Structure 1
Amino acid sequence: MSARFARLGALCGTLSGLLIALPSLVEAFTGETAATSLLLALSPAFSLPLLIALHQRQSHLSGRFGESAYLVNLIGLSLFGGAAFTANLVLFHLDEDVIEAELTGPTIPVLLGSAVVFAVGCALFGAAMIRAGRFPKVPSWGYAVALPLFAFLITLPDSVFTSALHIVVGATVIWLATSLWQNASRGQAG
């Protein structure tokens, strides 16, 4: 992988982490707003380049397990990102009665399924990062533990706890992006 692509992935990851953490910090004091929902909705799109760059940087160390973990995480992030985009940009603006009426049929099981695939993918990819040892242990463990929790606890009502979890997830993503940038700057092969 080129150092340039790693840096681009790191920049996208930093932006993604900021788009998770900063709106959540604001929401801890103001509650959810249209502006914070918009920023949160965009975050998963910027996570994808980071995930690709992280995998490419460690793929020679993580082997088949890492490849499988990456694939599950990529699919899960794509599904969960679509769900987050919908929840934050569409459902946010609808009345509770409309949401309840519309979330019928396969919608709820599909949304839950996307959260499950995302959680499993994050846990597996986090484990692959821990095993490969290419990135710092704390954010690798954060990826393996905090992001799967995030997938399921995101449905809880807004609270200081959910805002804190968003901030932890954002910080984890930023830390991994920073580590990726530093690895690329040192010219480490990968």
Structure 2
Amino acid sequence: MNPTLTRLGTYCGLAAGALIALPAAVETVTGETAATSFLLGLSPALAVPLLVVLHLRQSDASGPFGAVAAVANLLGLGLFGGAAFMLNMGIFYLPEATAKELLQGTPKVALLGSALVFTAGSILFGIAMVRARVFPRIPSLVYIGALPALALAAPLPDTLVTSSLHVICGATLVWLALSLVRDRRESALSAG
């Protein structure tokens, strides 16, 4: 696999995880702020390169199911990431009454649909990671449960539970990204 792509996917994964976990940890004390909302809005875009590299690393072991799972997760991440961006970068700044009015009807259905596609894709890709046994088992299993739970909790008010889910998801992405670094070092040692 291309080492530059692996490195970029790793860095993006570390950033995505940090931009999910750290603002959420701050929000447990401060509540949602413009700064934390901004950082959370950026994180899904940074997760895309990580997901691509994770799939490429395990593609031989995960086979056709892994390819379908990766595409489903990428589609879900694109949709849900767009929703998260809109909620954190736009809706957050509107008066509460305006935000509630905007998030009714078709927009509400679209947001829920994006969360469901992301949920299905995350479950499938997590299963592909567990079956392929390329990445550490714990973050692969957590991926199956925590990422879908985060998506389904998105419409709920911010609480300690939702912030904790963000921290767990961010830590999972960081762990998976770091496993790419370990794998790259092991490959270099065995080749040299």
**Normalising TM by the smaller chain, what interval?**
over 0.9
Say if 1:146 and 1:165, in contact at 8 Å, map to a contact too.
yes
The letter of the residue matching 2:182 is: Q
Say if 1:7 and 1:184, in contact at 8 Å, map to a contact too.
no
Given the two structures, how large is their TM-score scaled by the length of structure 2? 0.95
Which has the higher mean CA deviation after the structures are superposed, 27-36 or 96-105?
96-105
Ranges in structure 1 where 5+ consecutive residues have no aligned partner: none
The letter of the residue matching 2:51 is: L
For residues 149-189 of structure 1, give each alpha carbon's deviation from its aligned partner in whole angstroms, at most 9, with x where no partner exists.
11011222111111111100000000000001211222279
The letter of the residue matching 1:5 is: L
What is the rounded CA distance, in whole Å, between the counterparts of 2:183 and 2:28 in structure 1? 34
For residue 33 of structure 1, what is the aligned residue in structure 2? 33
Say if 1:17 and 1:171, in contact at 8 Å, map to a contact too.
yes
Please tell me whether residue 182 in structure 1 is matched to residue 188 in structure 2. no
Ranges in structure 2 where 5+ consecutive residues have no aligned partner: none
Q: State the Cα RMSD in Å.
A: 1.2
For residue 70 of structure 1, what is the aligned residue in structure 2? 70
Q: Secondary structure at the match of 1:186?
A: helix
Please tell me whether residue 55 in structure 1 is matched to residue 60 in structure 2. no
- Report which structure shows greater RCO (CA 8 Å, sep ≥6): 1
Measured after TM superposition, the shift of residue 18 of structure 1 is 0.2
Say if 1:9 and 1:50, in contact at 8 Å, map to a contact too.
yes
4+ residue stretches of structure 1 with deviation over 6 A?
A: none
The letter of the residue matching 2:118 is: F
Number of paired residues?
189
Say if 1:50 and 1:177, in contact at 8 Å, map to a contact too.
yes
Say if 1:69 and 1:121, in contact at 8 Å, map to a contact too.
yes
For residue 138 of structure 1, what is the aligned residue in structure 2? 138
For residue 170 of structure 2, what is the aligned residue in structure 1? 170
For residue 14 of structure 2, what is the aligned residue in structure 1? 14
Which has the higher mean CA deviation after the structures are superposed, 171-180 or 159-168?
159-168
For residue 114 of structure 1, what is the aligned residue in structure 2? 114
Amino-acid identity (%): 52
What is the rounded CA distance, in whole Å, between the counterparts of 1:104 and 1:165 in structure 2? 25
For residue 153 of structure 1, what is the aligned residue in structure 2? 153
